[in-house]
Amino acid sequence: MIKGIVKTIEFLFRRKRFAADLDEEMSFHRELVEKALIAKGMTAEEARFVATREFGNAARLKEQSHEAVGFGFESVLQDLRFALRQLHKNPSFAATAVLILALGMGASVAIFAFVDAALIKPLPYPNPTRLMDVTESLALFPRGNLSYADYLDWKRMNSSFSSLDVYDGTGFGLQTPSGMEPVHGERVSAGFFRTLGVRPMLGRDFRDEEDVVGAAPVVLLSYGAWQRRFGGRNDIVGQSVNLSGVAHTIIGVLPKDFQFAFRGNGEFWEALQPTRECEKRRSCHDLYGVGRLKDGVTPQMALANMKDIAHQLEVQYPDSNRGQGASVMPLSAAIVGDIKPILLVLLCGACLLLMISCVNVSSLLLVRSESRRREFAVRGALGASRARLARQFATEGSGLALAGCLLGLGLAGVGIQFLLRLISKDMMVGMPFLDGLGLNLHVMLFAGGLAILAALLASATPIIQLRNSTLRDGLTEGARGAAGTLWRRVGANLVVIELATAMVLLAGAGLLGKSLYQLLHERLGFNPHHLAMVSIGLPDVAFSSDEKIVAFQRDVIQRASQLPGVESAAITNQLPVSCNCDTDWVRFVGKPYNGVHNEVNEREVSAGLLSTLGVRLKSGRFFTDADNATSPKVIVINEAFASKYFPGEDPIGKKVGDTELTPKSLREIVGVVEDFKDAGLDEGQWPAEYEPFNQVSDSYFNLIVRTQQDPATILPALIAVVHEVSPNAGVDDPATMDQWISDSNAAYLHRTAAYLTGGFAVLALVLGVVGLYGVIAYSVSQRTREIGVRMALGAQKSAVYKLVLGEAGRLIAIGVVVGLVGSVGAAMLMGKLLFGVQAWDAGTLAGVAVVLGASAMLASYFPARRAASVNPTEALRAE
C-alpha cells in the first residue's frame, strides 16, 4: 500500500522518463513481432501493418498503462479545462463567488498583517522575549515612572537582570537655517543600547562613565537625523553639534533599522546625566526602565524580586516611597498593550466576515450543483465514477478559491495602505513596527492557509451533496421535490449561521459606535470650538532665568491677543484632553496626614486660561497678572479637588503644601473652577490644581487662543508671533482643539474600532441578506408547482405571502436569537473598548435586531411577491 503510494508519487515526478521507457519497450515489441511475421514469409510492409494492427491504438495503450500507475495526471488538466469552461459559461456566478470570497479574504488578510506586525513579530532586538519593561507602580498608575535614586538602588540590589537601564524623552533646540527648530531628543543611561542589543552602525556606543554629572556631553544620532540633517556624511563622528545651546560631541550613528517604539521619533540620543531638578529627589519620578533578564529568570521571578526591593525602599524611605511598588512586564506587552484589544476585536470581526463569505459561496455552490444534477447524472450514466465527479467539483471549488484568494490579496494590499493612512502621524511615531507593513511572508502564508480552507469548503459542499443523492434520480425530470428538500434543509441552516454572524458584527459595530459617540460627547467642561494652539519650547541657555521666561510669555500672550479675530490668549503647560499625568503630591495645613499620597493633576497656567477655554468659576477668584513671583503663592482647584479633600467645607483660604509641608511649598487656595477635561477622553476626572505661570514657570508650554474665525486659519500667524518675540523659541504642533481631540489616542482607537467593525458589519449584513434571498428565491422556484396547485384549489394571494414570508420569518427569528446570544458574548470580550455602554445595551441590541430583521424581511418580500403572482394554469402546465 505504502509502496504503491511511493511509486505513484515517483511516477508523478518521473512522468517523462516513464513514458519514454514505455515507448521504447513497445516499439521493441513491435519490431520483434514484425521480424517473426517476416520469418513466416510476409513482406516487410505487410508485417508492419499487421503488427501495428495487432498492437492496437498505441496512445490508448499508453494511457491505460499510465492509469495503472499514476492517478491520471492528464485527466486533472482535463478537469481544470472543463472547470474553466463551466465558470466561463456562467460568468455572473463565478464573479459573485470570487468577489464574495475576495472581500472576506481581503478584510481578514489586511487585519492579519497588522496583527502580525504588532503582536506576532518579535521586537527587532536579539532575544527580545528577555527584555522587560521595568517601572515603579502606584495604585493609580500600574505602570508609573521610575525615580533616579530608586533606579540606582534597583540596579544595585536586583538579582534578576543582567543589565537594567533607564530612558526618558526630552527636547532640544537645534539651530537650523530656518531658525531655531525644536527637535525630539532622548536621554538614555549609558548601557541602554547594550541592554537592547543594538550597536551603532557608525562610531561607538556610550561608555559607562558618560552618564554621570560632569562628563562631557555626547550624543548618538538616529539614522534619519544623520541623513536629513547631516547629509549622511561619514566624517560626522567626532564633530560637535549645538543642542539648546550646549555643545555635544557626536560619537556615532544608530543603525537604519533601529526602532524603539516608546521613543519612535528621537533624533538625538544623549547619555542621561541626572542634572534635572527632578532627578535629585527620590520622590520625583521621570524615567522608564528597561532590563534584560538573566538566564533562567522568569518575568514573574523578576517582578517578585523588584517588589521585594521596592518594599525595602518603602521601609527605608517612608516619606518618598510610600505606596511605590514595582511593575515588570515584557517590553512587547508594554509597547502594544494599548492596541492589542482593538486588533484582536478587528481580527475577530474580519474572520466572522470571512466565515459569512465562505458560507455564502457554499450556498451558491449548492444551488449551482442542484441545477447541474442532470449533467452529473448523464456523466454518471456514461460511466464516470463518483470519485471522478467529486474530483470535478474539487477542481472547480479550488479554482474559485484560488481566484478569490488572489483578488483578496490585491484587496488586502490596498486595504493595508488605506488603514495605514488612517493612522495619524503622531500615532505612527509610537508604532515603528508598522513601518513598511505589507504583504510579507507571514501574511502570504496566512492567506495561503485561508485559501486552502476556502478551497476545501468550496469543494466539500457539493461533494457531500453528491454523496447524499442518487445519480439516477437526476435523470428523471419530475423528481425535483426530494432534492429541493435537501437543499432547503442545508441551505436554511447556512442562512441561519449567516444571519447570526451578521447580527454579532452589527451588534459589535453598534456598541462600538455608541461608545465612540459617548466618548466624543463626553462632558469636556469647556468649549472646544474656535480654539487654536501651538507648543513652544524655550532653550535653557537663552532663557536661563524664570524672569526671562515669564517676560517672554507675557509678550507672546499680549501680541497673540492683538491678532485680528483673536478674543483671548492663554498659556498652559499641559493641554486639556491629554492625560491624568504631571501629578503632584499634596498635604493640607491643619488636616491630619497619615502619609498617604494625595495625587492630583498639576497644571501651570496663565491668568487668561479660564476665559479662553470658557470654563466657569464656581467660587473665589481666578489668577490675575498681579499674582507673580513677589506675591504670596496661590492656586485654584477644581470641583473634584474640593469635594475629595474638602467635603462640606469651603476650601477658599485653605493652605496646601508638599508632603513635608515645607514653608516654601505652601500656597493658598483662592478659587474653585468647574471640572473640565484634563485627562484623556476615556479617563475619569481627577482632582486638579492650577498654578499661575508667573509663580511656577516651565520652559515647555502651549499657547492657546480663542478666535472668531476658523481657528485653523490663524495658526501661521501664531507661529510668526512667537518668532517675532524671540527667534530662539522653538514652535511646533500647530493644531485646533477640535483636531487635537479627534486625533487623541482614545478617540482614534475607538473611532478605528467603530468604523472598521461598522464596515465589516455592513458587508456582513449585505451578504447575509443576499444569502437569505437566495434560499427563499430558490425555495419558491422549486415550489412553483405546489403553489400553483394551492392557488388552483382556492388559496388566496395572502396565503401564499404567508407561506413564503413565514418560512423566511422563521429563519430570521432563529438567526436573530442565536445572534443576540453571540452578540452579548462577543461584547463582553470587547471589555475595555466599550465606553459608557454595557455589553447588553438593550437599545443597541434591539435596534440592530430591527435593522437586520427588516432588511431580511424585505429581501424575502420579492420572492414572496413572485410566488403570489404565479398563474396557476401556467404553473401546472410547466411541469
Nearer to another protein, 65 or 527 (CB): 65
Contact between 385 and another protein by CB under 8 A: the answer reads: no
Q: Does 784 bind another protein (CB under 8 A)?
A: no
- Beta carbons within 8 Å of 389's beta carbon, 6+ residues apart: 376, 379, 380, 466
d(CA 473, CA 374): 9
Report the site for another protein in 172-231 (rule: CB under 8 A).
none
Question: Closest distance between another protein and the C-beta of residue 21, in Å?
Answer: 7
Residue 33 near another protein by CB under 8 A: yes
Listed ranges 27-35, 264-272, 500-508, 669-677: which one lies at the site for another protein (CB under 8 A): 27-35
> Under the criterion CB under 8 A, does residue 26 sit at the interface with another protein?
yes
Please classify residue 82 by burial: count the beta carbons closer than 10 Å to its beta carbon, then call 0-12 exposed, 13-18 middle and 19+ buried.
middle
Give me the helices (H) in 268-424, please: 299-316, 318-321, 331-336, 340-371, 373-381, 386-422
Strand partners, 241: 248
For position 23 contacting another protein by CB under 8 A, the verdict is no
Three-state secondary structure call for residue 232: coil
Q: Which is nearer to another protein, 61 or 589 (CB)?
A: 61
The dihedral built from the CA positions of residue 464, 93, 377 and 394, taken in this order, carries a sign that is: negative
Helices vs strands, H then E, count in the chain: 29, 21
Which CB, 58 or 278, lies closer to another protein?
58
Rg (CA), the chain: 38
Choices 25-33, 404-412, 480-488, 838-846; region in contact with another protein by CB under 8 A: 25-33
Task: Output 71 or 593, the one with its CB closest to another protein.
Answer: 71
C-alpha grid cell, residue 20 = 519514454
Enumerate residues 399-458 that contact another protein by CB under 8 A.
none
Name residue, grid cell 517612608: 318
Give whichever of 56 and 238 is closer to another protein, judged by the CB atom.
56
Query: What would the grid cell of residue 577 be?
Result: 484632553
Interactions with another protein, residue window 741-770 (CB under 8 A): none
Q: Give the nearest distance from C-beta 380 to another protein in angstroms.
A: 25
Contact present, 63 and 74 (Cβ < 8 Å): yes
Please tell me whether residue 55 binds another protein under the rule CB under 8 A. yes
Give 22 or 439: the residue with its C-beta nearer to another protein.
Answer: 22
Residue 572: enclosing H or E segment and its boundaries?
strand 566-572
In the complex with another protein, the residue whose CB is nearer, 71 or 840, is 71
What single DSSP character describes residue 457? H
CB 449 within 8 A of CB 401: no
How far, in Å, CA of 349 to CA of 351, rounded?
Answer: 5
In the list 24, 209, 435, 567, the residue contacting another protein (rule: CB under 8 A) is 24
Reported in sequence order, the residue ranges of 54-154 that DSSP labels E, i.e. its strands, are 131-137
Neighbours of 3 (CB within 10 A): 7
State the Cα angle at 144 between 142 and 150, rounded to 5°: 120
Q: Which residue lies nearer to another protein by CB, 6 or 77?
A: 6
Contacts of 403 (CB under 8 A, 6+ apart): 94, 98, 101
Is residue 42 near another protein by the rule CB under 8 A? Answer: no
Of residues 516, 583, 711, 571, the one with CA closest to residue 138:
583
Closest CB to another protein among residues 68, 315: 68
- From candidates 9, 19, 25, 836, binder to another protein by CB under 8 A: 25
Q: Which of residues 58-117 bind another protein (CB under 8 A)?
A: 60-61, 64-65, 67-69
Question: Which of 9, 17, 19, 21 touches another protein (CB under 8 A)?
Answer: 21
Identify residues 689-728 at the interface with another protein (CB under 8 A): none
56 belongs to the binding site for another protein (CB under 8 A)? yes
Candidates 20-28, 445-453, 510-518, 786-794: pick the segment binding another protein (CB under 8 A).
20-28
4 binds another protein, rule: CB under 8 A? yes
The residue count for binding another protein (CB under 8 A) is 23
- The rounded distance, in Å, linking the Cα atoms of 297 and 307 is 15
Q: Which is nearer to another protein, 50 or 789 (CB)?
A: 50
Give the whole-angstrom CA distance, residue 795 versus residue 589. Answer: 90
Nearer to another protein among residue 33 and residue 762 (C-beta): 33
Question: Taking the complex as a whole, how short is the minimal distance between the CB of residue 770 and another protein, in angstroms?
Answer: 50
DSSP one-letter code for 709 = S
| Contact residues for another protein, defined by CB under 8 A | 3-4, 7-8, 21-22, 24-26, 28-29, 32-33, 54-56, 60-61, 64-65, 67-69
